[in-house]
Structure 1
Amino acid sequence: MSDSFGANLKLLCSHYRSIAEVCRKLSINRAQFNRYLAGQSRPTTHNLKRICDFFGVEDYELVLPQEQFSRLIGARDNSMASTSAGAPLLELFESLSEHSNDLSRYCGYYFEYSNCMSVPGQILLSLVHLREERGSFVFERQERQERARGGGAEDWVRCRYLGAAFYLQDRVFLIDYESLTGNEISQTILIPSFKSRITRLNGMKTGVSSGDQRTPACTRVVWEFLGTDINRVNSYRQVMLYAPDDPRIDDDVRQRLAGARIRNGLFEIE
């Protein structure tokens, strides 16, 4: 087994709150698991299958080079860009936060469906994590699009957006930037759900396409609530472009992405 096994296993564990939680769910002794992480020993065939089944990966993927494996399953990085206290930008958002209502009930993981801005006619499925952090609500949105049809990790272009969320006057406003390149800012406005159980939220998103012209664009979006504790690796594997008639996209999502109406001269989402 390659030297990258331990590093790849650490990356998988970073999608969970702690190593202890992973060991508890796997029913593997913590000391033994630490030896796997450190590369001091390798799992038995039985334990390797349990690890692969739990994280939703194949055994051969766990021994891929670290950079390739990272691109395959989506690198985990909870760090938000730090800003020194008293900076003008921070003060602006701090003032805005004072007017924002509580978003706690909306925290969790979502699939975001949108009409792809850079590949017209395709549906882009992204993974979003909305959470509370030190009294503010922040989120991370993961996207990836296939560059070629080879199917390997190198054939995917990955985007990672970091942003802030605000609940103002019965609308959820989300502002984010593409953190890997720093060349894009987008804004999403969602219509919140007032039902006791959150399922899907409708909204609009503005940004630019990733093509050479960087064309400004606007698309309808649908957020589908997944829960507060998910298998991030399995969910990330579904992040990609889909044809509109792909059976993995249900009719309700298609109708929400296509449906709109005009009321009192204003464009509204149905």
Structure 2
Amino acid sequence: MHKVFPTNLRRLVHHYPSTSRAAEALGINRQQLSKYLSGLSMPSLATLRNIAAHFELEPDDLLLPAERFAARWRPPMRIKGLPTQMQQVITALLQNTVQTRSILARFCGCYHVCTPLRSNPDRIGRAYTVISQEGDLTLIKTIMYATSQGALVRSRHPIKVNGIAQWLWERIYITDVQNVGHPNARLQSIALYPPALPSTPFLTGMLMTSNNALTRPIYSMPIVFKRLPGRIPQKADLAACGVFSRDDPRLDPEMMALLDADASPR
């Protein structure tokens, strides 16, 4: 315990700007905390419990071997230099990603995503999306093709969009951006409703996007995610993306029925 506890405690305290700030947050005398960190002294059981509770851990976690402790505790994400009010907003969002990570984990995988095109609702765009987790974040990576399906993959220019997911009020909220700072910049939000039955492979919802807002209005569309087998991206699923006529037999009839059941494009 005298060997592993100081190592684990140093990992925790490292995320404070100074030992003094850490001692203040923990309610411990700075000199005493320094003794704990150096291994010259061990805290009482009550103090050990207080330290563990502060970091949302169990006392036994602090006595795990360093490798196991590193896997048990991940440092909180922080963004520095923001105004106080904005810092509170960002912190709340980051904390929510940590707290809801396990809920979002069950939605990780590969998807085909279908939505009508705003320029022509009789045309359906099918994209390829991967939902994955890195650390405490749930990430969304989407590849779309502006040209019709059927052209050779190498001849089609892919549009790649990255986003982040949140779980709020029994819904999945996705925010992604593309080409920020450029004339063709896009900000997009998606709200998805998880199915009542976990075995159902579809997520339905609404997409709201602003694409080059100086020339195009904000608009919304129904959107459907269909989960694909496996969690590893497949070239065939990627090649099957593009733009289709609404009555194209290559489109999933169930996805089309769900799109039609949602609100019409506006």
Task: Give the TM-score band, short-chain normalised.
Answer: 0.5 to 0.7
User: How far is the alpha carbon of 1:136 from its aligned partner?
Assistant: 1.3
Shift in CA distance, 197/179, structure 1 to aligned 2, threshold 3 Å: farther
Q: Deviations over 1:42-75 (max 9, x none)?
A: xxxxxxxxxxxxxxxxxxxxxxxxxxxxxxxxxx
After alignment, is 197-206 or 86-95 more displaced? Answer: 86-95
Structure 1 distance, partners of 2:122, 2:135, is: 40
Structure 2 distance, partners of 1:154, 1:132, is: 29
Q: Which residue of 2 aligns with 1:134?
A: 135
Q: Which residue of 1 aligns with 2:43?
A: none
Count of aligned residue pairs for this structure pair: 179
3-state SS in 2 of match to 1:223:
strand
CA contact (8 A) 1:118 1:210 kept: no
Q: Which residue of 2 aligns with 1:14?
A: none
Structure 2 distance, partners of 1:93, 1:227, is: 35
CA contact (8 A) 2:185 2:211 kept: no
Q: Which residue of 2 aligns with 1:200?
A: 202
Q: Which residue of 2 aligns with 1:95?
A: 92
User: How far is the alpha carbon of 1:97 from its aligned partner?
Assistant: 3.5
Structure 2 distance, partners of 1:150, 1:142, is: 16
3-state SS in 2 of match to 1:196:
coil
3-state SS in 2 of match to 1:246:
coil
Q: Which residue of 2 aligns with 1:168?
A: 168
* Structure exhibiting the larger radius of gyration computed from Cα positions: 2
3-state SS in 2 of match to 1:215:
coil
Output the TM-score relative to the length of structure 2.
0.58
Q: Which residue of 1 aligns with 2:158?
A: 158
Structure 2 distance, partners of 1:122, 1:210, is: 21
- Mind listing any 5+ residue stretches in structure 1 that lack a counterpart? 1-82, 262-266
Structure 2 distance, partners of 1:199, 1:249, is: 15
Shift in CA distance, 99/158, structure 1 to aligned 2, threshold 3 Å: same
Structure 2 distance, partners of 1:175, 1:138, is: 10
Q: Which residue of 2 aligns with 1:74?
A: none
Percent identity, aligned pairs only, is 17
CA contact (8 A) 1:122 1:244 kept: yes
Task: Give the structure, 1 or 2, with the largest relative contact order (CA under 8 Å, sep 6 or more).
Answer: 1
CA contact (8 A) 1:164 1:174 kept: yes
CA contact (8 A) 2:186 2:211 kept: no
Structure 2 distance, partners of 1:214, 1:222, is: 23
What amino acid does structure 1 have at the position aligned with 2:156? W
CA contact (8 A) 2:113 2:128 kept: yes
- Mind listing any 5+ residue stretches in structure 2 that lack a counterpart? 1-76
3-state SS in 2 of match to 1:193:
coil
Q: Deviations over 1:215-245 (max 9, x none)?
A: 3221000100114424432111011001000
Structure 1 consecutive aligned stretches of length 4 or more whose deviation exceeds 3 Å: 87-94, 149-155, 179-182, 208-213
Shift in CA distance, 97/156, structure 1 to aligned 2, threshold 3 Å: same
Structure 2 distance, partners of 1:121, 1:210, is: 23
